[in-house]
Structure 1
Amino acid sequence: MSTAIPDLPVLAADDSMLSRKFGREVANYFSGSPLNRVSFLRTDHAFLNAAFAHPSTSFLLLDNYSPLAKDTSTLTYVSKEDIAVLTGLDPFKKTEEEQIKSFNSAITQPIVLFLGLDERKTGFEYREYKGNPYFAVDVTPKGSIEEKAKSVIEAVKAKHGVSFTPGARLLTLNAPEAAIYAQARALLDWNARNPFCGGCGERTMSINAGTKRVCPSTDLAGIPEGGEPKKRADCPTRHGVSNLCFPRTDPTVIMAIVSSDGTKLLLGRGKRYPPGWYSTLAGFLEPGESIEEAVRRETWEESGVHVGRVIIHRQALPNGETINLGNDPELEDAKWYTFDEVREAMGMSTVGFGDAVPEGEQRKLRIPPQTAIANRLMAAVVEGYLGPPPKI
C-alpha cells in the first residue's frame, strides 16, 4: 500500500495585494524545494570544500538514478565518511582551474552535486550564508570507480538498513524531498548524457559542483606521472557562449516585479546595456524548480528583493523590497521606478541595444523596444492589469 503524499508546500503567508485577492500560493510536486540553491557559490571552491567537510552536511546517494531511501516516501541521507572511499574527503580542494588542468579522461570521477542550504537549520555558516548543506553523489558502478562504488553501496545498505528505491518518478516521496530528488536526478541525468563534447567529440568534465561541463584543452590520459599533459585540438566550445557547458533544457523566466503597494516596477541594468537602459529581470529556470520558484530565486539573487505571491505577473513582498546587488554579480544596478516614469520612457523614441542615445537624453530612463518581452511586461503592468478588467 503506497504512502499518502503530505500536502504540497505553500508560500509563507504575506499581506500583499495579490495574496489578499487570490489567496496563498501552492507549489507543484517536484518543486517547492526547502533548499536555497545559492547558485552563485558553486564556483567558490572554498565554500564547497567547507560545506562538503561540515558535520551537518547531508549526502543523498543515487545508483542509476534510484535514491537511497528508508521507504517509498522518505529519503535517507548519509555522512561524508560513508562515501569517502569513492569521493575522498576533499573533492573540492582544487579550484576549477586546477581541476581542469589536471583532467585525465581515462579516470572516471564520481559526480558530486551541490544542491543547496537548508536555512531552517543553522549548523553551517559561510560569510553571511547559513544553513545545513546538501549534496547528491552518483554512486553508479561504472568505469574505473566500479569497485569503489559497489563497496559504498553495500556498506551504506548494511549500515543504515535501507535500499535504493527504483522508479522513474517516485510519486510517493514526501513533497519537499521529491523536490530535492528531482533536482539531483535531473542534473545527474544531464551529466551522464553529455560525456562527449558536441564541438570536437572529446570527453568533457563536470565542474561548478555538477552544474556545468567543459571541454578541457589538455589531457593527462596515458601520460606518466609528473609528465606534461598533451594538448587537445582547438574546440569551439572554448570560445564565446558555449551551447554544451550548461543544461540546455532550462526554460527562461522574465518577470515584471511590482512593489507590494502596486505603484512601482523593479528594473535592472546589465553591465553591457547602453547608457540609461534598464529592463525587467530574467534568468534560467533550473531542473526541479517551478516557474514561480525561479522568479523568486532569480529576483533575490540578482537584486536582493523578495517576491511573494506569484500569478501571471509578480509582486514583491512588503518589507522585502530593499535592493541588494551583493549576491549575484550579473547586474550593474537595479532601481524601483514609478509607473509614471515607466510610461514616460515608453513614450520616448526607441533606442536599440547597440544604438547611440540622443544628445541630452543620456540621463533619462531608457527601456527595451516594443519587440522585447520586457517592454510588453512593463506595458501590461502600467496599462492597468492591477485594475478592474476592461469592458468588452
Structure 2
Amino acid sequence: MPLPAPELPEPAHADLDSMLSRKFGKEIANYFSGSPLNRVSFLRADHTFLSTAFKHPSTSFLVFSNLQPLFKSPTELAYVSYKDVVPLTGEDPYMQTEDEMISTYNSSKFTPQLIFLGLDERNKNGLLYKDHYKGAPYFAIDATPKGAIQSAAEELAKNLQERGYHFGEARMHMTLPAEEAAIYAEARHLLDWNARNPFCAQCGNPTLSVNGGFKRACPPKDMGSLKGAIGSTNSVTPSDPTERPPCATRTGISNLSFPRTDPTVIMAVVSPDGQRILLGRQKRWPPHWYSTLAGFLEPAESVEEAVRREVWEESGIFLGRVVIHSTQPWPYPANLMIGAIGQAIPEGETVHLGHDAELEDARWFSVEEVREALRVGTSGLGDEAGPEYKEGGLRLPPKTAIANQLMTAVVNGFLGGDSKM
C-alpha cells in the first residue's frame, strides 16, 4: 500500500491578518517549496565563511550519487558529517578565494561538486559568523563514483549501505516531509545544473564552479593545458602556455554562468458557467488518469499569454480571464511551475485536439466529479488509488503536485487551500 502523501509546507505568516489575505485568500505553498534554510546568498563568495561552515561540527552533508539522494527511509533523508566527505573533498576545498581558484585553475584536477545550501537557524549549536549569521550549515555533495574520487566514493557508498542507508530517486514516491523535500529540491537542481554545464557556452572550454556552487566561471588560464588553449584555432602559440583564447564571458560586468530556471505554466481551466473543469491526459498515463494542462513559457511572452496559448494549442479552448494562483519549484531538472486558473469564453469552449498531438484526450469534468476524485482518486503515476476508489472513476495527481492544488482551489471557489469534502 502506498505511503500517504506528506503535508504541504506552511506558507509564510500564515496566521497574519492582512488586507491581501482577506481579499485573495490564504497563500498556498506547494511541495518542494518552504525550505527551513536561510540561503544567505551574499555569503557564497566569502571563502572564510564557506571554509568555517564546511568544517563546523553542526554541518550536515546531503550525499547524491547519479542525482539520487541518500535516504534513511522513504520518508527521511540521510545526512553525513565532515569526516565522511573529507576523503572525497580534502580537508578544506574553500581554502582559496574565488580569485585564487580562478587564477590557478587546472582542468585536469577532478573535485566533487559541492553546493552550499544554507543555514538552519533553528539549530542553537550551529556556527556564529560575524556576530550576526547563525545556524547549522547544510551542503550537498555529488559522490558519483568517477574520476579521481571513484574509489573513495565507492568506499563511502559501501559504508553508508552498512549503516542502513540507500540512494533512491525522490521523484518516484515524493513521500519526504515538506521541509526535507525543499532541501532536496535545491540540492538536486544545483547539482544537475553544474553537471550539465562543464563547458563554456561561448568558447567551449571547461568551466569552474564558484560561489558555493551557484555560478560557473570561464577562467582565462588553465594549468592543465600545457600545449596551449583547449579548442584554440590560433596558429600562433601563446607566450603563456596556460593562457586560453579570449572569451566574451570574461568581458563586461559579469564573467559568470548562472543556474537556469525554466518557467512553465500549468493551469486549471474553468468553463464559462463555472461548473466544469477541463482536464487532459497523455497516452503514457494509467487508465482514467487526468491532470491540468501545462507547457513552457516562451520568450517575449507573458504568463497570461502563455496560459492562453498552451490551452488553445493542446485543447482548442479559448480563454478569457487568467489569474495566477501559486507557484512550485520542480527540480526535474529546473522548472518553476507557475500555477494559474483561466476561464473559457462562451464561444470558445469546444474541445479540438487537432492543433498539437501532445494529448491523447481532453474533456470537461463536472466540479462535483473532480471534487470526488480529489477525495478518493489521487495518487502518483505509479501508485494505486485510495481504498475508496472505484475502478473506472477519475484519477488525479496527489496533493504534492500543483495540479492538485489548482483543482482544489476551483472546487473550493478559488479561495483557501484545504479541500472541502
Query: Quick check: 1:178 aligned with 2:190?
Result: no
Change in 2 beyond 3 A, CA 1:140/1:36: same
**Contact 1:197/1:244 (CA < 8 Å) preserved in 2?**
no
Structure 2: distance between partners of 1:138 and 1:154? 16
Change in 2 beyond 3 A, CA 1:125/1:29: same
**Contact 1:215/1:237 (CA < 8 Å) preserved in 2?**
yes
Q: What corresponds to 1:230 in structure 2?
A: 242
Query: Quick check: 1:56 aligned with 2:68?
Result: no
Letter in 1 for 2:118: G
Change in 2 beyond 3 A, CA 1:2/1:240: farther
Query: Quick check: 1:187 aligned with 2:199?
Result: no
Secondary structure of the corresponding residue to residue 67 of structure 1: strand
Secondary structure of the corresponding residue to residue 25 of structure 1: coil
Pairwise CA distance, 1:239: 1.1
Letter in 2 for 1:53: K
Q: What corresponds to 2:5 in structure 1?
A: 5
Pairwise CA distance, 1:250: 5.7
Structure 1: distance between partners of 2:183 and 2:8? 14
| TM-score, normalised relative to structure 1 | 0.60
Aligned residue pair count: 259
Could you tell me which runs of 5 or more consecutive residues in structure 1 were left unpaired when the two chains were aligned: 253-284, 295-310, 313-392
Structure 1: distance between partners of 2:329 and 2:32? 12
**Contact 2:69/2:168 (CA < 8 Å) preserved in 1?**
yes
Query: Quick check: 1:248 aligned with 2:251?
Result: no
**Contact 2:209/2:215 (CA < 8 Å) preserved in 1?**
yes
1:171-216 CA distance string (max 9 Å, x none): 1221111111111111111101111111111111111111101111
Change in 2 beyond 3 A, CA 1:46/1:286: farther
Query: Quick check: 1:147 aligned with 2:151?
Result: yes
Q: What corresponds to 1:16 in structure 2?
A: 18
Change in 2 beyond 3 A, CA 1:241/1:249: farther
Structure 2: distance between partners of 1:207 and 1:134? 17
1:12-42 CA distance string (max 9 Å, x none): 3213222344443331011111111111111
| TM-score, normalised relative to structure 2 | 0.57
Letter in 1 for 2:120: D
Q: What corresponds to 1:135 in structure 2?
A: 139
**Contact 2:329/2:336 (CA < 8 Å) preserved in 1?**
no
Structure 2: distance between partners of 1:194 and 1:287? 19
Secondary structure of the corresponding residue to residue 103 of structure 1: coil
**Contact 1:36/1:117 (CA < 8 Å) preserved in 2?**
yes
Moved over 3 A (4+): 20-24, 167-170, 241-244, 285-292
Q: What corresponds to 1:352 in structure 2?
A: none
Secondary structure of the corresponding residue to residue 218 of structure 1: coil
1:276-327 CA distance string (max 9 Å, x none): xxxxxxxxx98869989x9xxxxxxxxxxxxxxxx99xxxxxxxxxxxxxxx
Structure 1: distance between partners of 2:70 and 2:241? 38
Structure 2: distance between partners of 1:81 and 1:229? 38
* Aligned residue runs from structure 1 range 1-392, under 5 A: 1-11=1-11, 12=13, 13-122=15-124, 123-127=126-130, 128-158=132-162, 160-168=163-171, 170-221=173-224, 230-240=242-252, 245-249=257-261
Change in 2 beyond 3 A, CA 1:286/1:113: farther
1:133-167 CA distance string (max 9 Å, x none): 11000001122222222122222222x32111135
Letter in 1 for 2:153: A
Change in 2 beyond 3 A, CA 1:97/1:291: same
Structure 2: distance between partners of 1:72 and 1:229? 52
**Contact 2:3/2:175 (CA < 8 Å) preserved in 1?**
yes
Structure 2: distance between partners of 1:221 and 1:290? 35
Structure 1: distance between partners of 2:44 and 2:146? 26
1:370-390 CA distance string (max 9 Å, x none): xxxxxxxxxxxxxxxxxxxxx
**Contact 1:9/1:176 (CA < 8 Å) preserved in 2?**
yes
Change in 2 beyond 3 A, CA 1:131/1:287: farther
Could you tell me which runs of 5 or more consecutive residues in structure 2 were left unpaired when the two chains were aligned: 228-239, 265-327, 342-421
Pairwise CA distance, 1:80: 0.7
Secondary structure of the corresponding residue to residue 231 of structure 1: coil
Pairwise CA distance, 1:48: 0.7
Structure 1: distance between partners of 2:182 and 2:74? 14
Counting aligned pairs with the same residue, the percent is: 54
Structure 1: distance between partners of 2:196 and 2:255? 14
Structure 1: distance between partners of 2:262 and 2:335? 11
Pairwise CA distance, 1:72: 1.5
Structure 2: distance between partners of 1:286 and 1:241? 29
Letter in 1 for 2:248: P
**Contact 1:32/1:290 (CA < 8 Å) preserved in 2?**
no
**Contact 1:71/1:165 (CA < 8 Å) preserved in 2?**
no
Change in 2 beyond 3 A, CA 1:106/1:170: farther
Structure 1: distance between partners of 2:158 and 2:180? 23
Secondary structure of the corresponding residue to residue 131 of structure 1: strand
Secondary structure of the corresponding residue to residue 148 of structure 1: helix
1:222-247 CA distance string (max 9 Å, x none): 659xxx87111111111125596101
Letter in 2 for 1:189: D
Letter in 2 for 1:85: P
**Contact 2:262/2:336 (CA < 8 Å) preserved in 1?**
no
Pairwise CA distance, 1:74: 0.8
Change in 2 beyond 3 A, CA 1:136/1:85: same
Structure 2: distance between partners of 1:35 and 1:57? 12
Change in 2 beyond 3 A, CA 1:287/1:121: farther
Structure 2: distance between partners of 1:21 and 1:239? 48
